[in-house]
Amino acid sequence: MSIETRLTEVKNKISETAKACGRNPDDIKLIAVTKTYPTSAMNEAIRLGVTDVGENKPQEVRDKFDDVLPVKWHLIGHLQTNKVKYVIDRCCMIHSVDSIKLMQEIERLAKAHNRHIDILIQVNISGEDTKSGISPDELDELLSYAGQLEFTHVKGLMTIAPKGDSEEVSVHFKNMKELFDKTSEKDYKNVSMEELSMGMSGDFQTAIKYGATMVRIGSLIFGPRNYN
């Protein structure tokens, strides 16, 4: 199938799922995940209406940026402090912040570039060892620290559900939404619970049912990845 056909199907599924659970489809942002895909495919998707792209690796942001049409870039993969320099002046949002040390480096470079950047705190809601992110118990510490930042602004939370059956995935998304709502009730400086980034190609419809405002979808739009 063409990118156009795939993209149309994804958008239709987002809309149908949102309406089925009483949500406005316009409240759900599609992040087209472009990991390993060439800039030609990215540009085709942008011409077809994609407004936001997500990259897993900072180096791919750096290497692709100049060859891609104007679009909003999101860094959605694990970010080491020494790689912040590759995304700080290119991305509008970093979804995968999981330590105060990383927050400090983002703030340092954002200040140096005199630009403001939005971040999400990544929570390992399942507690799975292979997943990045903080535990729910650590969230208060990071959100409290955000009050010291001037150029870096917390806009919500992100999670990645482990692979499993729909019932198991639903439990993790439900727990994440409860944490999001609970956090929204608290008064943190420089924190606004606007975005809940969760759901990928295999589980985005379930994520929408449990309140995702951003879904990160790659292979359903661009086709199978070639990791070679």
Q: Give the helix/strand (H/E) hosting 51.
A: none
Q: What is the DSSP string of 11-46?
A: HHHHHHHHHHTT--GGGSEEEEE-TT--HHHHHHHH
Q: What is the mean pLDDT of the chain?
A: 95
Decide if 146 contacts 190 (C-beta within 8 A): yes
* pLDDT score at 77: 96
Helix locations, the chain, DSSP H: 3-20, 39-47, 58-64, 100-112, 139-145, 166-184, 204-209, 219-222
* pLDDT score at 162: 83
* pLDDT score at 144: 97
Euclidean distance between CA atoms 42 and 52, whole angstroms: 10
What's phi and psi for 55, nearest 5 deg? -115, 145
Decide if 3 contacts 222 (C-beta within 8 A): yes
Q: Is the pLDDT of residue 24 over 80?
A: yes
Write the CA distances from 38 to 30, 55, 207, integer angstroms: 19, 12, 28
pLDDT tens digits for 154-179?
999 999 988 877 788 999 999 999 99
- Which tokens go with 180? 């999001």
* pLDDT score at 102: 98
pLDDT tens digits for 118-156?
999 999 988 787 788 999 999 999 999 999 999 999 999
Taking alpha carbons only, the member of 52, 75, 30 closest to residue 213 is: 30
User: Residue 17 — pLDDT band, cuts 50, 70, 90?
Assistant: very high
**pTM of the entire predicted model:** 0.95
Q: SS3 of 127, please?
A: coil
Euclidean distance between CA atoms 160 and 42, whole angstroms: 23
pLDDT tens digits for 54-74?
999 999 999 999 999 999 999
Tokens 């407004």 — which residue?
A: 51
